[in-house]
Amino acid sequence: MTTPTTPRGLTIDELRARLDSASPPRLLDVRSPAEFEGAHIPGSYNVPLNTLREHRAELTKHLDTDVVLVCRSGQRAGQAERALAEAGLPGLAVLSGGMTAWEKSGAPTNYGQERWDMERQVRLVAGSLVLVGAVGSFFVPGLQALSAFVGGGLAFAAISNTCAMGVMLSKMPWNRTPSFDPRKAVAQLADGR
């Protein structure tokens, strides 16, 4: 079994210079369609992490190593890099700091309908469940187990660098855009170069 490597980080200045070059890299934004719709780097393709994982063998046929992976902070992009490396496309770059850093730097960004990012949604749901478990246990004996379950899930998410709650929330109607189609996303990449 191989141990996961740290993805190659690319700073905002490095990415901007490469985007202004004669042969710019392709940008894969692995956030949810709703997050992508809210704000994204001009020219980037939206291939959400769960779609990327499901279609990684097909995606690698349409990608080369000149790809930069983007998400909100760099965590999901790192997971996408590992998934594509396992499918035979190692060494892709990840935008250091993700869209959060990109926007803070004042770099060009396309804005659309603003929505809550996935991390904020996870914090709301997890915090609400813990609160319900803690306060509700005064009225319903044993309800504090809900708080313990959520706390255990958050600890596991941190240790494994995965987030089951985030995956579940990404499938909710408010996180989907009517126009997103995984087959269309793969086809756009195939036609992209």
pLDDT tens figures, 112-150: 987 787 888 999 999 999 999 999 999 999 999 999 999
* Average pLDDT estimate for 158-175: 85
Pairing mode, strands 110-111 and 39-40:
antiparallel
Q: How high is the pLDDT of residue 91?
A: 87
Q: How high is the pLDDT of residue 60?
A: 87
pLDDT bracket for residue 3 (50, 70, 90):
very low
* pLDDT > 90 fraction of the chain, expressed in percent and rounded: 58
The predicted model scores a pTM of 0.71
* pLDDT > 70 fraction of the chain, expressed in percent and rounded: 94
Strand segments, DSSP code E, in 41-130 are 45-46, 67-70, 93-95, 110-111
Strand segments, DSSP code E, in 53-169 are 67-70, 93-95, 110-111
Closest CA to 76 of 51, 102, 57: 51
Distances (CA, A) of 27 to 10, 15, 102: 12, 10, 13
Are 45 and 192 in contact, with CB atoms under 8 Å apart?
Answer: yes
pLDDT tens figures, 19-67: 999 999 999 999 988 889 889 999 999 999 988 998 888 888 888 889 9
Q: How high is the pLDDT of residue 167?
A: 83
pLDDT bracket for residue 6 (50, 70, 90):
low
Q: How high is the pLDDT of residue 180?
A: 65
Q: Look at 62 and 4; give whichever has higher pLDDT.
A: 62
